Amino acid sequence: MNLRKKIYLYTTVLFAVLLLIMNITVYAVFSKLIYENEQAAISNEMANMTKIAQKSIGNVPEAELLRAFVPSNGMVRLVQPDKKAVTSTSPDEKALREIPSEYISSELIKTMERDNRFYMFASAPLILPDGEIGSFQLIRSMDSAEKILKTLRFVLGIVTVVAMIPVLISSAILSKFITRPVATMTATMKEIRKSGQFKRLKLEGKSHDELQQMGETFNHMIDLLESNYEKQKLFISNASHELKTPLTVIESYSSLLKRRGLKEPELFNESIEAIHSEALRMKEMTEQLLLLARHDDHWMIDLKMVELKSFLTQVTRTYEDAFNRTVRLDSALSENTFIQTDENKLKQLLFIFLDNARKYSDDVIKVIAGTEKQEVYIRIEDRGMGIPMKDLPRVFDRFYRVDEARNRKTGGSGLGLSLAKEIADALGVEIRLESTEGVGTVAYISIKVT
């Protein structure tokens, strides 16, 4: 059973049960009121009849007295202590004479059933002429009350049936309304599975209910899936494109080693050096590709206050020790210049620019830091070959190389500056390059002071 049928069935059954309970309650309350009214009426009637009979008994024959009190739909009876009784009935209720006489010394009101008919029975004590206490009894048919209750049952039954019609219609509309977004989502998922293309739900209206939220969540999930799918395709494409060259180099030198490596030591050393260089480049390239393949939301930036001067001192010293290159730090920063940033990500950003300066320059690398208005700046300068003016706008594009031969020689993959741009965007800092061909390059990092 699908969801729509379940909602339709459960809603209909629930409404039917509630309606049935309400009708039963109405009938029970109304029935109780009718019986209470009947009891009150026969109690008042008995009080009046007993008062009159007490004055008239002994002066009027008992049979005539009872005929004066007999109701149109019942019977009166006077029962003595020895159970001898004088009875008078209406023409339509002669069968009541067959009810055995019962002496009752106290007042009593109750309902009784005979031949599938209901009667109201009342008894009250009466002083007889000889001084004994008799039982004056009145039995009256409740046919009129039963007819009212029967009519009420019929009306409630009709009302229940009629009321179920709009319930059935509203349940069908409600189930269709609730399940429509689910059905649309299911159809969209099936279409995505068949076509292999990402599709989204068309959201109508501006409601903020759970169905609207479910549709928005579905579309957001499709956006994430499509984004990740595109990143995966791009990663595979980039990886296959960029790894093909170093793999070809490694394969070529490996084949050369197999044929002539043992006979020619110089060729052996050259091959080993080339294979080692290409392996290192592949390792670096793979790490950068993995970082670039991540979604912006997954950078997991851990912001905290960092004292910039000591931070730069530590970074430059670490880089000097690792690559045995001279890095000179010229800082105009005070000891209490703090910025809010992710320390590890900022260090990674600086290492990318320092690495470029190391690869394309043999001179001293300069790192200059200072403040300007509400920002601090960090400049990384090298005296290398520089970048042509026409290439500067594209240096942050993935896999873009200013000089193919130069990048192959130095192991560049065209990913470093692209990764730097991704990190800078995640940190909320501004970066740019200025370069003069044949003179050198300057990388600028601008960070707002907290």
**Predicted pLDDT of residue 174:** 80
- Chain-centroid distance of CA 419 in Å reads 36
Domain 210-292 fold is Helix Hairpins (1.10.287)
Query: What does 15-59 look like in DSSP terms, one character per residue?
Result: HHHHHHHHHHHHHHHHHHHHHHHHHHHHHHHHHHHHHHHHHHBTT
3-state secondary structure of 171: helix
What was the pLDDT predicted at 158?
92
* E-strand stretches of 277-341: 304-307, 327-331, 338-341
What residue ranges do the domains of the chain occupy?
3-150, 210-292, 299-448
Give the pLDDT score at 411.
47
Q: Which tokens in the block code for residue 335?
A: 């000891």
Q: Which token pair is 157?
A: 């039954």
* Amino acid residing at 419: L
Question: Can you give the pLDDT at residue 216?
Answer: 80
Alpha helices in 293-434 (DSSP H): 308-323, 343-360, 404-410, 416-427
pLDDT of residue 242: 59
The pLDDT of residue 207 is: 64
CB atoms within 10 A of CB 166: 10
CA Rg, the chain, in Å? 52
What is the dihedral sign for C-alpha 351, 355, 357, 363? positive
Domain 299-448 has CATH 3.30.565.10: yes
Which stretches of the chain drop beneath a pLDDT of 50? Answer: 295-297, 404-411
What's the rounded Cα separation, in Å, for the pair 417 and 396? 5
Architecture of domain 3-150: 2-Layer Sandwich (3.30)
- pLDDT of 237 reads 66
Query: Model-level pTM?
Result: 0.47
- Read off φ and ψ for residue 340, nearest 5 degrees: -100, 115
